[in-house]
Amino acid sequence: METKRPKIIAVCGKGGVGKTSISALITRALLEQGNKRILAIDADPAVGFATALGVQVGRTVNDIRNEVIETSKEGNRDDKLAILSKLDYEVFEAMIQKDNYAFLAIGRSETEGCYCKVNSYLKTIIEALASNFDYVIIDGEAGIEQVNRRVMEEVTHLLLVSDTSFKGINVIKTIEEVASGGVMKYEKAGVILNRMKDENEKDSVNLGKLELLGCILEDETIRKYDIEDRSLLGLPEGRSTYVLSELLQKFGMI
């Protein structure tokens, strides 16, 4: 594949505000662009992004990481070097290839400790892998430290998702403040207010210097799909999908 710089969007916010659903709907919207190479990365240990896309996860990046660490603990230098030498192959094998996109789960880190060299190797491999795609969507944890530490240090678009609660808004403000302080490099940042009862709610929200890209109302169809454990890629056209496509255009993603 030709190496080029993809558009990389990291979706972050407080837990429970709908980050994963937004990540899945972004993937859906980008797939509609046609003939684009898309990599979806689940950086949340709960692996909810996989469920939202209808993907069955086998091996994760952290499974690979833990194997290297356990081998290192056992003290067999030759085995350790052999595993390190094929880390890129192992990560590629862990990536799930679908008809029109690829999926990679970071997973939960079961082995404690820094192991900075292993983490650095894996992050470099993921960044190199991402360069083969047109779009990369990262569904992150509540903060950005895990994305930065174990996925990649630089994204093009930081998408902050929140409901209209004070706690949710405070979290995204903190995330942007930490990111702009040097924890993560990004080119653009914007906010989606999600799960709103009506658009008038936004009038009572103080985002400070953050740019509001738009609002998505509570969607019973999305809720029904979540309850029934159905992939959001099959969600029918509706207000949420239409609004999200408009927001992605405003955000410079499509």
42-67 confidence digits (pLDDT tens): 988 777 899 999 999 989 988 888 88
**CATH number of 7-61+95-110+132-249, picked from 3.30.420.40, 1.20.120.1760, 3.40.50.300, 2.40.50.140:** 3.40.50.300
pLDDT tens readout for residues 109-143: 666 655 567 777 788 888 888 999 999 999 987 66
Locus of tokens 């356990």: 70
Percent of residues, the chain, with pLDDT higher than 90: 45
- Return the exposure string of 74-102: e unless at least 16 CB atoms fall within 10 Å of the residue's CB, then b: eeeeeebeebeeebeebbeebbbeeeebb
Please give the pLDDT value at position 80: 58
Instruction: Calculate helix-pair angle for 116-130, 87-94, nearest 10 degrees.
Output: 60
- E strands in 125-164: 135-139, 157-162
Across the chain, mean pLDDT equals 86
Locus of tokens 């009572």: 204
Ranges of each domain in the chain: 7-61+95-110+132-249
- Rounded to whole angstroms, the Cα distance separating 75 from 191 reads 48
Burial of 206 (C-beta count, 10 Å sphere; 0-12/13-18/19+): exposed
Burial of 67 (C-beta count, 10 Å sphere; 0-12/13-18/19+): middle
Other beta carbons within 10 angstroms of residue 7's beta carbon come to 20
Q: Sign of the CA dihedral 232, 19, 29, 54?
A: negative
- Rounded to whole angstroms, the Cα distance separating 198 from 110 reads 42
